Structure 1
Amino acid sequence: MRATDHLSSILAKASENFSEDYKRWVKVMHWLGTEAGIAHLQAASSLAHIDIILRQVETEHLEEVSGPDLNSMSYTTMFVEMLSRSWVLIAYEIVRVLADRKRDDRQIIELKKRLAAVRIPLAKAEIEGADRFQKRNGGRLPPVLSYPMGEDPRISGWTYAHDGSHTLQTAVCNHTGAIVWRPFDLVSKQEIEVCRRDLSDEFLNLAK
């Protein structure tokens, strides 16, 4: 069997298991065509299919991390992280367009903020808003502890440097198996939690 056939089977299984969510994505895609322009439908279609596959893989991920072989090697976490990163990067660009066109829609503006809190560290290895913080504070960087890739954050870290060394701390949602990112919010001056599945559900709720 070709790799493409395997991928098609995965999508078919996920679409069957999460058929109601798939129907909601179809509704959202039609809504986006009206609100953001038909050129964004291709990106929205990619976002929808990645999400449906992710929901399937996240469910299997939860079964793994809740099972007796928690310490065994698995590709599931890698796949969840990889697909989640792609999903966020696509979702942010679509929501950014919506936010530019619907500046008074608080639901869209809030979703954009939550996506940006994750998207900036993932795409640029920087804290969202660090540039603005520097300008307001005479070039001073946020007094935030950052962690090296692969190190245990409980025992090591350094002051945020704004040089592409910042990494997001992550956890696993114990209800869905989705990735939970923990970006630092410079407004509240504390770490916040952003669950990938919650972002997806908030996106689906945009279609009135």
Structure 2
Amino acid sequence: MTPAIQGHGELDVLLRCYETEISASIASGSADPHFRFNYLNMLSELWILSVYETVRTVNQRKIVAESDAFENLYLDLTLVRMPLAKHEIPKDNLVKSPLNMTRVPSNAEAGASYVYDKGDPLRSHIMPCGVSANGSLMWQVIDLKRNIEYWVERRGLSDRILAFAVPVNSA
């Protein structure tokens, strides 16, 4: 796993530099949101999808001691990853009837709302996303188990992952 984790770290450093640049351009009013957002989105999705698999493996193999902090990190990664990878709401088996959803931003041609039906093979859920003041991508996740929606920021996830890093003894 070491090479994979090193790759996640290298992509994280690249994203942090890019996020800092975006944050500065937003603050100065010179942001070009369309160009910058496209690359931020692609790189952030790549980071989420790869980091999720490593954290899932760490969780499955019980490499990190059980804790609320790790459980919450894994949950947030899951809630972001599932719609990115499968265009589904995580744990949609908990839904008893189709959900009325709102498009963000609304689409004049398609309407402001749509129905998410877990039984429809053509169903699709695209999470609302935006850029935080840190210049980091953030997603609005749906936690059906707890019946809440909230925003998850990529850099915040990274900070939480780094909190689990164990310093290497240089002896």
TM-score (structure 1 length as normaliser)? 0.68
Q: How does 1:180-199 map to 2 (within 5 A)?
A: 180-199=138-157
Change (3 A) 1:186 1:82: same
1:130 aligns with 2:130: no
1:202 aligns with 2:160: yes
User: Match of 2:160, as an amino acid?
Assistant: E
Unaligned runs of 5+ in 2: 167-171
Unaligned runs of 5+ in 1: 1-39
CA distance in 2 between counterparts of 1:144 and 1:88 reads: 27
Q: How does 1:44-193 map to 2 (within 5 A)?
A: 44-70=5-31, 72=32, 74-102=34-62, 105-106=66-67, 107-131=69-93, 133-134=94-95, 137=96, 140-141=97-98, 143-147=99-103, 151=107, 156-162=112-118, 163-174=122-133, 176-193=134-151
Query: Aligned-pair distance for 1:101?
Result: 1.9
Give the percent of matched residue pairs that are identical in Structure 1 and Structure 2.
28
CA distance in 1 between counterparts of 2:132 and 2:58 reads: 28
CA distance in 1 between counterparts of 2:60 and 2:33 reads: 44
In proportion to residue count, which structure has more strand?
A: 2
Q: Which has the larger radius of gyration?
A: 1
8 Å CA contact retained: 1:95, 1:108:
no
Work out which structure has the larger RCO, using CA pairs closer than 8 Å and 6 or more positions apart in sequence: 2
Question: What is the RMSD of the two structures over their aligned residues, measured on CA atoms?
Answer: 2.3
CA distance in 2 between counterparts of 1:173 and 1:201 reads: 15
Secondary structure in 2 matching 1:156: strand
Q: Which structure 1 residue ranges, 4+ long, deviate > 6 Å from structure 2? A: none
Paired residues in the alignment total 159
CA distance in 2 between counterparts of 1:173 and 1:73 reads: 12
CA distance in 2 between counterparts of 1:67 and 1:188 reads: 39
In proportion to residue count, which structure has more helix?
A: 1
TM-score (structure 2 length as normaliser)? 0.82
Change (3 A) 1:146 1:121: farther
User: Match of 1:68, as an amino acid?
Assistant: G
